Each structure stands twice: as structure tokens, then as C-alpha cells.
Amino acid sequence: MISGFGKSASCFDRMDQMHAPTIEHRASPRQIPVNDRVYVQLKEWNGMPIARGKLLNISAGGALIHVPSVGEPVRPLWIQLEEAPETGWIAADIARFDRPAEVAVRFHAPCPLEFFLAATLRVDPRFPAP
């Protein structure tokens, strides 16, 4: 028995607590793209290209992108889906750098529905439907 939890608990009780499902605390949950080939273009406010990145997840408030390098930690930028340029550019700020080569961005306004749907539901056109 393990003590110090208010009342005694077994090792198995403690392990159950450690492996409990995570609770989403974000205002808008993250969604992953339908395929692993959703790429975005990042550019400066003035239009200068920054990098090409792979979209890892997206929500109404921001996205996580795998990029080789984006430079300065906090600066405004524009994001566009490569395979859906008709959805336009979204204004965002770099919120933080995660693991090496991952950057989290925060959108200036909620993600437009067309952009969100194209990012999460668009099937890769290079592969035929089953």
C-alpha cells in the first residue's frame, strides 16, 4: 500500500491515475489532417517566403507545423495551404517552438471554415479513392 494520498492506495490505483485519458483544456480541440501530406507555406508580413512546413494538427485557434527553421521566436506571419490556395492566407503569430523543427502558431482570428476543412478533410489527389 502507498500512503500519502489522503487515504492509502495500492500501486495499481496510482497507475490507473497516471494512465487516465487526457482532458482537452483548449477552447477548440486540435484536429489532425486526413492524410500526412498536408503542407503549408509560411511568409513574412511583407511577402518574403519563410519556409515550407508539414501541418501536424490544426484547431480554430492555431496550428502545429513541422518546419526546418523559421527564425525569430515571435513575429507575425502568413500561412497558406499548398494544395488549397483558394482558401487564402491566414494571419498568425508564432506562439512557441516545440520539439526540434516544430512551431506552434496562433491565428489572429478564428480559422476560416474553408481552410479548416481543406486542411483536415481533403484527400490527397495523387491517390485514387477506394
C-alpha angle 85/91/92, rounded to 5°?
120
Using alpha carbons, select from 116, 124, 115 the residue that is nearest to residue 35.
124
pLDDT, tens digit (0-9, with 9 covering 90-100), for 26-68: 567 888 888 888 999 999 888 888 889 999 999 999 999 999 8
Confidence of residue 14 (pLDDT cuts 50, 70, 90): very low
The cell for 52 is 515550407
Look at residue 108 and tell me if it is in a domain.
Answer: yes
Q: Does residue 90 lie within any of the structural domains?
A: yes
* C-alpha cell at position 49: 517566403
Residue 28: inside a domain, yes or no? no
Residue 55 located in a structural domain: yes
Residue 70 has pLDDT above 70, yes or no: no
**N-term to C-term CA, the chain:** 54
For residue 114, pLDDT over 70 is answered with yes
State the average pLDDT over residues 70-96: 86
Is 65 within a domain? yes
* CATH code assigned at 96: 2.40.10.220
**Tell me, what's the pLDDT at 29?**
81
Mean pLDDT in the chain? 78
- Domain residue limits at 45: 39-121
| 98 lies in some domain | yes
Report the number of distinct structural domains present in the chain.
1
pLDDT digits (tens, 9 = 90+) for 15-24: 444 444 555 5
List CB contacts of 108: < 8 A, sequence separation 6 or more: 76, 90, 91, 92, 93
Q: How far apart are CA 39 and CA 41, in angstroms?
A: 7
pLDDT at residue 124, rounded to an integer: 52
